[in-house]
Amino acid sequence: MTFSHCRVKILPLLMEVCTGLFVILCLAQPAQSISRIKDITDVEGVRENQLIGYGLVVGLDGTGDSLNNAPFTKQSLTAMLERMGINTRGAKLRTANVAAVMVTADLPPFSSQGTRIDVTISALGDARSLQGGTLLVTPLMGADGEVYAVAQGAISIGGFNVQGDAASITRGVSTVGRIANGGLVEREIPFILGQLVSLRLSLRNPDLTTASRIVKTINKFIGSKSAHLTNPATITVDLPENYDRDMVQLLTDIEQLRVEPDMKAKVVIDERSGIIVIGRDVRVNTVAIAQGNLTVIITEKPKVVQPLPFSAGETAIIPDTKIAVNDNADHKLAILDEGITLRELVDGLNALGIGPRDMISILQSIKAAGALQAKIEIM
């Protein structure tokens, strides 16, 4: 085989390798912050409902409510026994194996009758632990006073409490427990999504730019102006006349569409923990920053002086105080240029040796000077 024939076969191979490398480099480019509509919006009417109930937990190993200090537990126990045909009116009940609890649960949307849900149990009286207890049948009501579920079952707790005569060990919270699939749905909340001809999407973070992008994306997918903007937090979507599917199918297709959410320039500060979160679009105008605090350090090192041998002297303590003053003279005045990015802002402040606490004060001072083009939100 001649060199020319070898070159003819090698060139196509090199072209394929280069093409593959080009594709890999394109795939390695950083992805934009594009999210699904499903992840940034909620459908109006499709939501959870909170349920609450009051019940009794039995089977505790002496860690329940003391009936003298929790009269509601005694009244509930007496009423429950009367429903079972046992009359305890006027009797002295001394059991410590019963505890009054509050039962809470979230009813998922479109939950049908017979569906199981998780419930949370919290002690109401002075019970020390709910370990080993069993929740008796407890109706769970909604905000309208109607019963939507019934809870019962053995409680599982995430902590324990062991106590002896001279010591005790406590880990986690033993007065709060959970029953997986312990609630049984008895009533459905009527909501027929498939029969709707119009629905509304609510943005979890209201923003006019993001809402406008969602409207354009939906209309481009459907091919008609079925979506329109009501306000920065609400988008109304009408079922197209030529659409051969119902609202459920339309919503299924819409929630998979992707848009790039916009966000306001914001700085969130938690002064209690010293946490600072700076948004992507935060910008700073030209400003000079100097940071320095006067620190006075006082150190006490008393000296013990012993008397000479065979002398009548006594041991004495002579105070020795050292005072040091640090005015942070090595800290310089830094200038932040106009329009710097988030990374440049953080790097510039870190270069000054500024900690989170001092950075909070500096950001507030920059905002007061009108040089910080962002909103500061203090938690």
Q: Where are the domains of the chain?
A: 49-185, 193-259, 267-293+328-378
Rounded mean pLDDT, 223-248: 87
Higher-pLDDT residue of 173, 234: 234
| Listed range (209-213, 290-294, 364-368) with the worst mean pLDDT | 290-294
Which residue from 217, 242, 232 is spatially nearest to 38, judged by alpha carbons?
Answer: 217
So what's the pLDDT on residue 190?
83
Give the pLDDT confidence of 95-143 residue by residue, as tens digits: 889 999 999 999 999 899 999 999 999 999 999 899 999 999 999 999 9
So what's the pLDDT on residue 322?
67
Tell me which amino acid residue 129 is: S
Length of the chain: 379
Rounded mean pLDDT, 13-22: 39
Whether pLDDT at 330 is above 70: no
Rounded mean pLDDT, 12-37: 48
Q: Do residues 112 and 37 touch, judged by C-beta distance below 8 A?
A: no
Which residue from 235, 198, 197, 200 is spatially nearest to 214, judged by alpha carbons?
Answer: 235
Kindly tell me the burial class for residue 97, based on how many C-beta atoms sit within 10 Å of its own C-beta (0-12, 13-18, 19 or more). Answer: middle
- In this prediction, residue 22 has a pLDDT band, given cuts at 50, 70 and 90, of very low
So what's the pLDDT on residue 32?
52
pTM of this structure: 0.66
User: What tokens does 153 get?
Assistant: 């079952």
CA distance from start to end of the chain: 77
Give the pLDDT confidence of 59-107 residue by residue, as tens digits: 998 889 998 888 899 899 989 998 888 888 877 888 889 999 999 999 9
CA atoms of 109 and 366, how far apart (whole Å)? 47
Mean pLDDT of the chain: 80
Higher-pLDDT residue of 310, 194: 194
Rounded mean pLDDT, 226-242: 90
CA atoms of 114 and 181, how far apart (whole Å)? 11
Rounded mean pLDDT, 246-263: 90
Distance of CA 47 to the CA centre of its chain: 18
- In this prediction, residue 340 has a pLDDT band, given cuts at 50, 70 and 90, of low
CA atoms of 99 and 176, how far apart (whole Å)? 12
So what's the pLDDT on residue 224?
85
Query: What percent of the chain lies above the pLDDT cut of 90?
Result: 35
Cα-flanking dihedrals φ and ψ of residue 112, to 5°? Answer: -90, 165
- In this prediction, residue 229 has a pLDDT band, given cuts at 50, 70 and 90, of very high
The one-character DSSP state at 307 is P
Q: Which residue bears the tokens 């039995």?
A: 58
CA atoms of 197 and 375, how far apart (whole Å)? 40
What residues contact 211, with CB distance under 8 A and at least 6 apart? 203, 229, 231, 232, 233, 234, 235
Looking at the DSSP assignment, which residues form a beta bridge with residue 203?
41
Supply the DSSP string of 153-203, one letter for each residue: EE-EES-EEEE-SS-EEEES-TTEEEEEEEEEE-S-----GGG-SEEEEEE
So what's the pLDDT on residue 302?
73
